[in-house]
Amino acid sequence: MNTRLSQHNAPIYEALQDFKSKRIVPFDVPGHKRGRGNPELTAFLGEKCVGIDVNSMKPLDNLCHPVSVIKDAEELAAEAFGAAHAFFMVNGTTSAVQSMVLTACKRGDKIILPRNVHRSVINALVVCGAEPVYVNPDMDYRLGISLGMKISQVEKAIKENPEAKAILVNNPTYYGICSDLQGIVNLAHEHGMLVLVDEAHGTHFYFGENMPITGMAAGADMAAVSMHKSGGSLTQSSFLLMGPAINVGYARQIVNLTQTTSGSYLLLSSLDLSRRNLALNGKEIFKHVMQLSQYARDEINKIGDYYAYSNELINGDSIYDFDATKLSVHTLDIGLAGIEVYDILRDEYDIQIEFGDIGNILAYVSVGDRERDVERLVSALAEIRRRYKADKAGLITQEYIDPQVITTPQYAFYAEKELLPLRETIGRVCSEFVMCYPPGIPILAPGEKITQEIVEYIEYAKEKDCTIIGPEDVEIARLNVLTEVR
């Protein structure tokens, strides 16, 4: 790294500031030419914003092959996160997750992973042809949520699949649950396997105090970090972190297979500035976030019937640790599905939370939140209980259904298929994804058997007005199934 640089620097941001001062005449792309060609867009976003929506050039470096300011910014990010290397990712954490899988696995390789992964992981298996070995997580049947991977489950998967190339771990899950990451890393490395960590919801672990262990601190080989979720950068911007055992040159080639060659300097500079902010102020920021989350939890639990859960769930195994910044709230005891509370908060109280599922809601508390906003949320939840409380009879409680894997995601996705009415697909093998979004964890993935329980779950989710995505049929009235299974 440039020895003149420290965490107080933001090389990309500084280069853009210097670029703006030179008043260079643009005869390159983008065609809006610093906003002059699109006055309506400029008025909407502001001149400062569109003025730095520029193309790669020597003074600003090139994301595909960084040699100057982006290289410096990557090295500062790696230092801040405790990684051997960091890639700036502008195709979202989806791209970072897929790059991890594609770096670790080729066609026919096995990868051990929990089934409650984000769709981006299984998308990567469709692309590269690797074979998933699923660890079906335990369930908390009261809350209706899937938990982390037990060490014993990982040991069993390794014993039965010693040729597997890698293990992927969620750290944390959407709900805040962490597996024993250090234990899994130790096990994997003993057996010559890489560890890939999906830390889409764990950026703050790297900068806060008394947080669950991070992928890099645990010795994982790669980690995908959604800087835009809890780190303050712009949507779609993330980091891909590398440990010392990974060939960075090869990983760069993998990243460049799918990442745009027209990297947005809006996203790049937001990553650069957000990294600087967290490196310098992260402890103080996330101490405040933790206090806000705990205050909200305490107040929500005083309302009655709601359950805002936290560290008391920790059992040292399937819930090895918990991310106490996550404001996850169980809603079924007021007689409403989480998605119903989600809709009421938005439609009647002008409060937009992160998601509602069958039995829970998640309010994302982070760097930009204020105490008065939390108080407004708590008041709204209290009023919703008073206005809508009902008998919970008839509400489904379980969010996760163990899949029956019949064939690989790649084979199923590309195989011959037919489109059938939902009820007629029972007993057949699905060739597409079905998921509620968020959180984007598949109810069905390509290659899995469609059961009556799954169909009833999909029908229930539709009835509760969950946003279901994935299938070719946008009405989710029909699904594509394999015409034959090899």
Average pLDDT over residues 265-280: 98
pLDDT at 300: 98
- Find the CATH number of the domain harbouring 424: 3.90.100.10
Cα torsion for 446, 449, 452, 453, to the nearest 10°? -70
Q: Is the pLDDT of residue 399 over 80?
A: no
Tell me, yes or no, whether 397 lies in a domain: no
Average pLDDT over residues 172-195: 97
Q: Of 356, 388, 420, at which residue does a domain stop? A: 388
Average pLDDT over residues 417-437: 95
Q: How many domains in the chain?
A: 2
Q: Is the pLDDT of residue 404 over 70?
A: yes
Tell me, yes or no, whether 382 lies in a domain: yes
Q: Is 426 exposed, middle or buried (0-12, 13-18, 19+ CB in 10 A)?
A: middle
- pLDDT one-digit tens code per residue, 46-80: 999 999 999 999 999 999 999 999 999 999 999 99
* Residue 165 Cα to chain centre, angstroms: 22
The one-character DSSP state at 448 is B
pLDDT at 180: 98
Rounded-to-integer distance, Cα 356 and Cα 150, Å: 26
Q: Are residues 377 and 414 in the same domain?
A: no
Q: By percentage, how much of the chain surpasses pLDDT 70?
A: 99
Tokens describing residue 51: 């003025």
Tell me, yes or no, whether 6 lies in a domain: no
The one-character DSSP state at 60 is G
| 3 state DSSP class of 167 | strand
Residue 423 sits in which domain range?
409-482
Q: Is the pTM of this model over 0.85?
A: yes
Q: Are residues 382 and 416 in the same domain?
A: no
Q: Are residues 435 and 383 in the same domain?
A: no
Find the DSSP H helices in 259-370.
Answer: 265-303, 338-349
Q: Is the pLDDT of residue 374 over 70?
A: yes
Q: Are residues 427 and 465 in the same domain?
A: yes
Given pLDDT bands bounded at 50, 70 and 90, which one contains residue 167?
Answer: very high
| 3 state DSSP class of 270 | helix
Tell me, yes or no, whether 440 lies in a domain: yes
Q: Is 271 exposed, middle or buried (0-12, 13-18, 19+ CB in 10 A)?
A: buried
- pLDDT one-digit tens code per residue, 247-270: 999 999 999 999 999 999 999 999
Q: Is the pLDDT of residue 129 over 80?
A: yes
Sign of CA dihedral 30, 35, 39, 42: positive
Rounded-to-integer distance, Cα 289 and Cα 286, Å: 5
Tokens describing residue 409: 């995601």
Q: Average model confidence (pLDDT) for the chain?
A: 95
Q: Are residues 431 and 462 in the same domain?
A: yes
Name which of 21-25, 347-351, 362-366, 373-377 the model is least confident about: 21-25
* Residue 200 Cα to chain centre, angstroms: 4
Rounded-to-integer distance, Cα 424 and Cα 149, Å: 34
Q: Are residues 441 and 345 in the same domain?
A: no
- pLDDT one-digit tens code per residue, 87-116: 999 999 999 999 999 999 999 999 999 988
Q: Is the pLDDT of residue 1 over 70?
A: no
Tell me, yes or no, whether 63 lies in a domain: no
Q: Are residues 382 and 452 in the same domain?
A: no
- Find the CATH number of the domain harbouring 324: 3.90.1150.10
